[in-house]
C-alpha cells in the first residue's frame, strides 16, 4: 500500500494515502534506489561516455546533458576513454552489469562498432556529433558542411579570394565536411582552392601556428585563414601577427566551435558557432523521451551552426585588391 502511494498507481483511498504520506514524513522515509532498481529492473541512471573531459567544449555538452537528465530525476554516470583498452574494459563490464538504462555517447575514436553492437543488443544509445556518417543511428549532429559554407560565404563577401585552410584531424568526418562545405562554396564563386593552401592540422593552437608558418615559408600568398577550430585559429592569428601583418585587414581569420576563448583572442575571433549545450540537451531529451515511450528516431537530429562575426574578419582594403 505504501508502494502504491509512492508510485501513485492502483486504486486507493485518499484518506489512507494522506495517512501514509504523513507517516512517511514523520519517519523521514526515502525508498532505497538500489532496491527499487532491482525490483523494477531499471536504475533511473543514464551513462555518458566521452573521449576526454578536458576538451574545451566538453563542459558545455556535458552541462547540457546533465541539465535535462537531472531535471527528469535521473542520474548521470560518467565514463571516459583516456586509458585506452582498460577504459573500454571497465566500461563494457558496467554495461553488461546493467548499471544504467541508456547511454549518451560522444564517440571515442574507434569504438563505433562496439557502440553499434550495444545498440543492436537493445541498449538505448544516442550519439552526439558522429564523426562518421551513421544514418541508421539515433544521434545529434551539427551542420558541419553548412558551417564551412557560411565561413566561405563570409570571406567571399569580404573579398578574400585566397584563403588558407587549417583543417582538423584528417580521419574525423567533421574535418571533411567543414572542408567540403568551404571548398564547394568557393568553387561556386569560381575559385578553386589551392591544394597547397590546405594544411592538415590537429585542432591544437600549435598546429594553427604551424599552418601559417608553413604557408609563409613556402611563399604562398593568402588573404584569409579558415581554421577548423578556435584553438588553431588562435594560433593562426598569433603567427600572422608575428610577421607584422594585420588581422583582420591583411589576413582575415575565421574559426570553428565558438568556445569562450574565441571572444578573448586579439582581435576577437569570427567563428562558426556550434550549439554544444543544445546538442547535449537534445541527446539527453531523446533518451528521456524514449524512457517516456517515444521511440528513438533512427537518424540524426541536426542542430544548425551559426556564424558569429567578431573582429578577426574585415573587408579587403582597396589598395590590396
Name the residues that contact DNA, by CB under 7 A: 1-4, 6-7, 9-13, 15-17, 29-32, 34-36, 38-41
Using the minimum distance from each CB to DNA, give the nearer residue, 73 or 244.
73
Using the minimum distance from each CB to its own copies, give the nearer residue, 109 or 218.
109
Using the minimum distance from each CB to DNA, give the nearer residue, 1 or 89.
1
Beta bridge partners of 106: 128
Report, in Å, the least distance between residue 29 CB and DNA: 7
Using the minimum distance from each CB to DNA, give the nearer residue, 26 or 192.
26
Q: Binds 93, which of its own copies, DNA, none (CB < 5 to 8 A, cut-off by type)?
A: its own copies
Report, in Å, the least distance between residue 122 CB and DNA: 14
Report, in Å, the least distance between residue 25 CB and its own copies: 13
Q: Which of 55, 123, 153, 308 binds its own copies (CB under 8 A)?
A: 55
Place of cell 553492437: 117
Residues 6 or more apart whose CB falls under 8 angstroms from that of 148 comprise 177, 178, 179, 180, 181, 182, 183, 185, 226, 272
Please, are residues 46 and 78 in contact by the beta-carbon 8 Å criterion? no
Cell of 169: 584531424
Place of cell 531535471: 71
Hey, CA dihedral for 279, 283, 284, 285, is it positive or negative? positive
Report, in Å, the least distance between residue 73 CB and DNA: 13
Task: State phi, psi for 83 to the nearest 5 degrees.
Answer: -125, 30
Q: Which of 146, 224, 225, 231 binds its own copies (CB under 8 A)?
A: 231
Q: Is 264 in the site for its own copies (CB under 8 A)?
A: yes
Give the DSSP letter string of 141-208: EE-HHHHHHHHHHHHHHTT--SEEEEE--TTSHHHHHHHHHHHHHHHHTT-PPPGGGEEE--SSHHHH
Residues 6 or more apart whose CB falls under 8 angstroms from that of 292 comprise none
Report, in Å, the least distance between residue 44 CB and DNA: 11
Q: How many Å separate Cα 239 from the centre of its chain?
A: 27
Per residue in 3-18, is it b (16+ CB within 10 Å) or e — as a string?
Answer: eebeeeeeeeeeeebe
Using the minimum distance from each CB to its own copies, give the nearer residue, 45 or 296.
45
Cell of 303: 542542430
Q: Is 70 in the site for its own copies (CB under 8 A)?
A: yes
Using the minimum distance from each CB to its own copies, give the nearer residue, 233 or 254.
233
Q: Which of 3, 98, 117, 136 binds its own copies (CB under 8 A)?
A: 98
Using the minimum distance from each CB to its own copies, give the nearer residue, 62 or 193.
62
**Secondary structure (3-state) at 284:** helix
The angle formed by the CA atoms of residues 190, 200 and 133, to the nearest 5 degrees, is: 80
Using the minimum distance from each CB to its own copies, give the nearer residue, 83 or 133.
83
Q: Is 260 in the site for its own copies (CB under 8 A)?
A: yes
Place of cell 576563448: 261
Report, in Å, the least distance between residue 96 CB and DNA: 10
Among positions 22-51, residues that touch its own copies (CB under 8 A) are: 30-38, 41, 43, 45
Cell of 34: 538500489
Q: Is 94 in the site for its own copies (CB under 8 A)?
A: yes
User: Residues interacting with its own copies, by CB under 8 A?
Assistant: 30-38, 41, 43, 45, 52-56, 58-60, 62-63, 66-67, 70-71, 73, 75-80, 82-83, 86-87, 90, 93-94, 96-99, 205, 231, 234-235, 238, 241, 260-261, 263-266
Amino acid at each position: 500500500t505504501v508502494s502504491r502511494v509512492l508510485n501513485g498507481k492502483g486504486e486507493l483511498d485518499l484518506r489512507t494515502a494522506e495517512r501514509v504520506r504523513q507517516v512517511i514524513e514523520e519517519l523521514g522515509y526515502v525508498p532505497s534506489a538500489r532496491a527499487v532498481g532491482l525490483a523494477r529492473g531499471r536504475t533511473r541512471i543514464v551513462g555518458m561516455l566521452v573521449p576526454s573531459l578536458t576538451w574545451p567544449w566538453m563542459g558545455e555538452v556535458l552541462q547540457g546533458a546533465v541539465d535535462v537528465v537531472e531535471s527528469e530525476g535521473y542520474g548521470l554516470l560518467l565514463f571516459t576513454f583516456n586509458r585506452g583498452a582498460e577504459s573500454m574494459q571497465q566500461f563494457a563490464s558496467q554495461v553488461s552489469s546493467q548499471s544504467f538504462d541508456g547511454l549518451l555517447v560522444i564517440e571515442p575514436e574507434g569504438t563505433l562498432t562496439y557502440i553499434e553492437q550495444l545498440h543492436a543488443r537493445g541498449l538505448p544509445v544516442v550519439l552526439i556529433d558522429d564523426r562518421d556518417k551513421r544514418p541508421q543511428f539515433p544521434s545529434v549532429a551539427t551542420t558541419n558542411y553548412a558551417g564551412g559554407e557560411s565561413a566561405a560565404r563570409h570571406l567571399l563577401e569580404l573579398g578574400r579570394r585566397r584563403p588558407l585552410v587549417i583543417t582538423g584531424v584528417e580521419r574525423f568526418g567533421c574535418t571533411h565536411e567543414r572542408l567540403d562545405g568551404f571548398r564547394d562554396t568557393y568553387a561556386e564563386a569560381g575559385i578553386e582552392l589551392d591544394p597547397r593552401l590546405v594544411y592538415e592540422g590537429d585542432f591544437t593552437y600549435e598546429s594553427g601556428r604551424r599552418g601559417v608558418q608553413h604557408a609563409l615559408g613556402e611563399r604562398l600568398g593568402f588573404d584569409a585563414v579558415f581554421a577548423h577550430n578556435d584553438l588553431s585559429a588562435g594560433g593562426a592569428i598569433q603567427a600572422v601577427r608575428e610577421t607584422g601583418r594585420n588581422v583582420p585587414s591583411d589576413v582575415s581569420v575565421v574559426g570553428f566551435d565558438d568556445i569562450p576563448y574565441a571572444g578573448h583572442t586579439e582581435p576577437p575571433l569570427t567563428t562558426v558557432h556550434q550549439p554544444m549545450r543544445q546538442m547535449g540537451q537534445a541527446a539527453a531529451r531523446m533518451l528521456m523521451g524514449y524512457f517516456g515511450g517515444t521511440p528513438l528516431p533512427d537518424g540524426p537530429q541536426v542542430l544548425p551552426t551559426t556564424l558569429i562575426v567578431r573582429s578577426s574578419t574585415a573587408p579587403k582594403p582597396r589598395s590590396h585588391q
